[in-house]
Amino acid sequence: MARRVRGLRWYIGGLLFLSTVINYIDRQTLSVLAPTLKETYGWDNWHFSWILIAFRVAYSVGQTVAGRVIDRLGTRTGLALGVAWYSVAAMATSLATGLGSFMAARFALGLGEAGNWPGATKAVSEWFPRRESGWAVALFDSGSSVGAALAPFIVLSLYASFGSWRPAFLVTGALGFLWLAIFLTVYRSPAEHPRITDEEREMLRQDQETDAAEHATGAALPYATLLRLPQTWGYVVSKTFTDPVWFFITDWFAIYLVSRGFSMEEGLLAFWVPFLAADAGNFFGGGVSSRLIARGWSVGAARKAIGVFGGLGMTLLVPTIWVDSLPAIIACFAVSTFAYAAFSTVILNLPADLFAPASVASVSGLGGTGAGLGTITAIAITGWVSDRHSFAPILVGASILPLVAVAAMLLLVRNTAATRAGVVREV
């Protein structure tokens, strides 16, 4: 008989965290090497933006597709397929020889990586009671900032060791297969897992029974129904107007620091700080919202309070236009990424807060597609504007967009006739 593991859900949460770390290491390999690749191939920011856009096109379309596929295949199979796909694509980037082949490799990477957030969100809805979901989402989402912070040290060490950028893509891409072997060994649904304790299984069963009592049906809602609900659009718009800010930092940060006159070595020393701040922001957003719920706040009020804080905090990107010292620039970015991550954590909770488990990944995928389209637009604008002017207008825009997200969250994520009928939860 398999040995039972107390608190098994937190080991599952740790696996989701590691998946996100690896996801972001693979993604950030290109961004860390961007100054070198631009010099090698003679690209300007506009050319580089097309490589980023290729990834985002696949990622945005893939989120909705992946969400529905994971809802149908199940978390274990769907998430495993996504990780295997993007690991192969990451390794294949080492074969790229120019703009077209880099775009093709990044497109393939985006298709695979699209499944991580819908899959992880669905896993949280299966394995964690509602009162703990904020912490669980904070845990797996913090992998993005940890992966982004680790990537410069891993990638530049590989580049220095081999004297070539190609091995960096091979080694970082292979990490996904190590994770996959562990995941397929460990992950099962709570109802099927041989190592879950009777107490944890019963706790999750009772939580799911409460969910079932709040819903008219356990079947996945069709997209036509989802798209008629204001809650869906509150989530989608919130993602669409905040994710471009985060991806501006992850995709362009190294190039931005070089444009301000700092060397790659100076940038490496500072690169990890905003991402460490984002990691703290994940747990702040998830932890404080969960604590407020435990103290009697409604789920919606707790999430929205963190959303307002996060949207206002992201406006601190604007002062970087006028400061010249590296510590001051990094401090502004760190506050902004802390605020973004807090907001992101509560946004990522919304599908599980609002919808029946059978629709969680589908709604998460819709939000990912909206965020992808917003990010594609932002990338194209960033490449064009930074080549012809500077990054200053981009930083102003990145401070305004989150305020739109806050307004959408406050106005659209609310009780309606649909929530009272039991189609989605009341928040």
Domain assignment present for residue 426? The answer is no
Domain assignment present for residue 1? The answer is no
* Amino acid type, 124: V
pLDDT number for residue 190 = 82
Distance between CA 99 and CA 121 in Å, rounded?
Answer: 34
pLDDT number for residue 207 = 67
Domain assignment present for residue 2? The answer is no
Residues paired with 355 in a beta bridge = 424
How many other C-beta atoms can be found within 10 angstroms of the C-beta atom of residue 346? 27
Domain assignment present for residue 161? The answer is yes
Domain assignment present for residue 370? The answer is yes
Q: What is the DSSP string of 36-66?
A: HHHHHHT--HHHHHHHHHHHHHHHHHHHHHH
Distance between CA 144 and CA 148 in Å, rounded?
Answer: 6
Distance between CA 287 and CA 289 in Å, rounded?
Answer: 6
Q: Residue 2 phi/psi, 5° resolution?
A: -65, 140
Per-residue pLDDT tens digits of the chain, which is 427 residues long: 567 778 788 898 899 999 999 998 998 899 888 888 988 999 988 888 899 899 988 887 787 787 778 888 888 888 899 899 999 999 999 999 999 999 999 999 998 998 887 888 888 888 888 777 777 877 887 888 788 888 888 998 899 899 899 999 999 999 999 999 999 988 888 888 888 887 887 777 776 666 555 554 456 678 788 888 888 898 899 989 988 888 888 778 878 888 888 876 666 667 778 888 888 887 898 788 878 888 888 878 888 899 899 889 888 888 888 888 888 898 999 999 999 989 988 887 788 778 877 777 778 778 877 887 888 888 889 888 988 888 889 999 888 889 999 998 888 887 544 443 445 555 5
Domain assignment present for residue 389? The answer is yes
Q: How many domains does the chain have?
A: 1
Domain assignment present for residue 267? The answer is yes
* Domain with 131 in it: 8-420
pLDDT number for residue 182 = 93
Is the separation of the CB atoms in 378 and 247 below 8 Å? Answer: yes
pLDDT number for residue 119 = 85
130: which 2 tokens? Answer: 């509602």
Which residues are CB-contacts of 44 (< 8 A; sequence separation ≥ 6)?
38, 383, 387
This prediction has a pTM of 0.72
Domain assignment present for residue 32? The answer is yes
CATH number of the domain enclosing 122: 1.20.1250.20
Q: What is the DSSP letter of 325?
A: -
pLDDT number for residue 420 = 39
Distance between CA 76 and CA 12 in Å, rounded?
Answer: 11
The CA-based diameter of the chain, rounded to the nearest angstrom, is 67
Distance between CA 38 and CA 32 in Å, rounded?
Answer: 11
